[in-house]
């Protein structure tokens, strides 16, 4: 039996320890700065226990928002020498839009922020506080989503694209292999750099040196093109219409529409964009044969036939119809992704039968709590209640048995990557506080 209230206390302790006064570090040492989608997930949990902190978290993140609307994937409020790349590496002063203070990275991450803001508004007791917060965030969120549709969808297709694996949040996912392997990098031409991640966690679990060379190559390409997306869209070899990114955008557009209504503004633009992106996703990214959605490589004009758990994330955005959803469940609830009642633990990030599946290697197999949280919400939305209860239970069991790790082994269940990882604690706390009454 899990002591849910004890688990909740432990989660709160981690969020308290990683809180800096301005934002929550994803993990002490390995990830000392403020990360965009981490902060949104963390704010969702703080909405239950400490709404003022949730508000400060998002306010701090949006201090780094660029004038063109982009919310950067890292905001560097302070210098820390435990993380590469630091602020200087990005040379964002070459962009006319980047803020000088705070310093930031030059790329973005999935847009979960409107969803976090709506979550906070719903959890705030005082109507006045909620309205003030909503009024502050609304124009910032609109600018952020407008940026994505304007700069990341140059052909007005309704699907936005990412230009760096870090933008996906799933850094070394096998989705990127085919595109990255086509990028030839001469290490001699790269700016000198030194990784720091492998000082904190097992190097064999982390991305390869060749992956990092390509990450760095792309950053160099961006600053050489002054972060001008028009130019980057012409020359960048990595341009991918990613399922997870677009699914989260659709959900965020629907949530922004609700925020607009709450502020007595028109929700129409957000609603119609959400619908449009959903339609395009069904037309272009749906694979009826397997019952999953696939990413699309814009440069080589190719579907990326890669079976990752994020391919089921459109459930969270209400994109598939009933038949598609049933098809997806056949695949999701099978050996490949760990079916209910089998000897495995929650949904792995990659099909367990796929070549290169690894239960330990970062985004190439391990269980991630944010993906499981998204699938929990998605399957619940479609009324797959038994399955949704199973994911929820697995998340609680894994964390109560092993602690709040960055990711977990789907076959053996142990925790890996960094311990005391904030979004793991946050999303488990969110699940608990949504249902249980542990408050003192
Ligand atoms: C990981 O990504 C960073 C780069 O952004 C890294 O490996 O150094 C990813 O898991 C990403 O999704 C996450 O936001 C970040 C901080 O937790 O770490």
- Average model confidence (pLDDT) for the chain? 96
CA distances to 168, 184, 213 from 181, rounded to whole Å, are 18, 7, 12
Read off the pLDDT of each residue in 362-387 and give the average, rounded to a whole number.
98
Query: In the structure, what pLDDT confidence band is assigned to residue 438 with cuts at 50, 70 and 90?
Result: confident
Quote the ligand 1 centre to 41 CA distance (angstroms): 13
pLDDT at 436: 77
Q: Look up the pTM and report it.
A: 0.98
Q: How far, in Å, CA of 436 to CA of 429, rounded?
A: 10
Read off the pLDDT of each residue in 109-125 and give the average, rounded to a whole number.
95
pLDDT in tens, 166-187: 999 999 999 999 999 999 999 9
| Neighbour count for residue 341 (Cβ, 10 Å) | 9
Helices 369-381, 422-435: axis angle to 10 degrees equals: 30
pLDDT at 125: 76
Q: How far, in Å, CA of 31 to CA of 212, rounded?
A: 16
How many percent of the chain have pLDDT more than 90?
A: 96
pLDDT in tens, 379-429: 999 999 999 999 999 999 999 999 999 999 999 999 999 999 999 999 999
- Residue closest to 176 by CA, chosen among 312, 364, 408: 364
List, in sequence order, every residue forming a beta bridge with 308; answer none if it has no partner: 350
Catalytic residue among 57, 153, 171, 351: 171
Read off the pLDDT of each residue in 289-299 and give the average, rounded to a whole number.
98
pLDDT at 315: 98
Read off the pLDDT of each residue in 329-348 and give the average, rounded to a whole number.
94
- Is residue 406 annotated as a catalytic residue, yes or no? yes
pLDDT at 440: 58
Tell whether omega for the bond before 281 is within 30 degrees of 0, i.e. cis. Answer: no
Q: Which residues of 167-181 are buried (b: 16+ CB within 10 A; e: fewer)?
A: bbbbbbbbbbeebbe
How many percent of the chain have pLDDT more than 70?
A: 100
Query: Is 439's pLDDT higher than 70?
Result: no
Ligand 1 pocket check: which of 14, 33, 35, 108 to mutate, most ligand atoms within 8 Å of Cβ?
35
Query: In the structure, what pLDDT confidence band is assigned to residue 126 with cuts at 50, 70 and 90?
Result: confident
Atom number of ligand 1 nearest to Cα 27: 17
Query: Is 117's pLDDT higher than 90?
Result: yes
Quote the ligand 1 centre to 323 CA distance (angstroms): 35
pLDDT at 330: 98
Quote the ligand 1 centre to 38 CA distance (angstroms): 9
- Is residue 234 annotated as a catalytic residue, yes or no? no
Protein residues with CB under 6 Å of any ligand 1 atom: 26, 31, 35, 37-38, 73, 166, 169, 171, 197
Query: Is 241's pLDDT higher than 70?
Result: yes
Read off the pLDDT of each residue in 154-173 and give the average, rounded to a whole number.
98
pLDDT in tens, 196-217: 999 999 999 999 999 999 999 9
Read off the pLDDT of each residue in 294-305 and give the average, rounded to a whole number.
98
pLDDT in tens, 42-91: 999 999 999 999 999 999 999 999 999 999 999 999 999 899 999 999 99
Q: Whose CA is nearest to atom 17 of ligand 1?
A: 26
């Amino acid at each position: 039996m899990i002591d849910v209230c004890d688990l909740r206390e432990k989660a709160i302790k981690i969020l308290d320890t990683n809180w800096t006064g301005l934002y929550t570090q994803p993990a002490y040492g390995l990830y000392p700065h403020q990360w965009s989608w981490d902060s949104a997930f963390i704010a969702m949990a703080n909405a239950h226990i400490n709404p003022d902190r949730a508000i400060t978290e998002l306010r701090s993140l949006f201090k780094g928002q660029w004038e063109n609307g982009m919310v950067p994937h890292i905001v560097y409020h302070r210098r820390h020498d435990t993380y590469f790349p630091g602020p200087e590496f990005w040379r964002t002063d070459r962009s006319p839009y980047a803020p000088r203070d705070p310093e930031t990275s030059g790329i973005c991450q999935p847009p979960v922020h409107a969803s976090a803001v709506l979550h906070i508004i719903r959890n705030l007791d005082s109507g006045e506080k909620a309205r003030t917060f909503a009024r502050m965030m609304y124009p910032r969120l609109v600018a952020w989503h407008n940026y994505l549709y304007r700069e990341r969808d140059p052909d007005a297709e309704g699907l936005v694209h990412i230009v760096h694996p870090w933008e996906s949040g799933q850094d070394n996912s096998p989705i990127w292999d085919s595109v990255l392997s086509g990028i030839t990098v001469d290490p001699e031409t790269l700016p000198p750099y030194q990784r720091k991640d492998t000082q904190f966690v097992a190097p064999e679990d982390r991305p390869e040196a060749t992956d990092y060379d390509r990450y760095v190559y792309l950053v160099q390409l961006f600053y050489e093109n002054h972060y001008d997306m028009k130019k980057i869209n012409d020359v960048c070899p990595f341009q991918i219409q990613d399922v997870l990114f677009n699914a989260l955008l659709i959900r965020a557009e629907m949530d922004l529409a609700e925020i607009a209504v709450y502020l007595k503004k028109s929700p129409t633009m957000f609603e119609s964009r959400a619908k449009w992106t959903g339609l395009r996703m069904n037309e272009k990214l749906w694979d009826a044969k397997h019952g999953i959605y696939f990413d699309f490589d814009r440069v080589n004009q190719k579907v990326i036939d890669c079976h990752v758990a994020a391919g089921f994330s459109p459930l969270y955005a209400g994109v598939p119809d009933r038949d598609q959803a049933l098809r997806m469940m056949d695949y999701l609830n099978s050996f490949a992704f760990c079916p209910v009642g089998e000897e495995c633990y929650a949904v792995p990030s990659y099909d367990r039968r796929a070549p290169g599946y690894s239960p330990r290697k970062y985004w190439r197999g391990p269980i991630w709590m944010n993906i499981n949280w998204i699938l929990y919400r998605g399957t619940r939305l479609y009324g797959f209640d038994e399955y949704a209860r199973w994911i929820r239970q697995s998340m609680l069991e894994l964390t109560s048995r092993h602690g709040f790790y960055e990711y977990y082994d789907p076959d053996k269940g142990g925790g890996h990557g960094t311990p005391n990882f904030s979004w793991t604690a946050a999303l488990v706390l969110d699940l608990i506080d949504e249902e249980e009454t542990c408050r003192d």
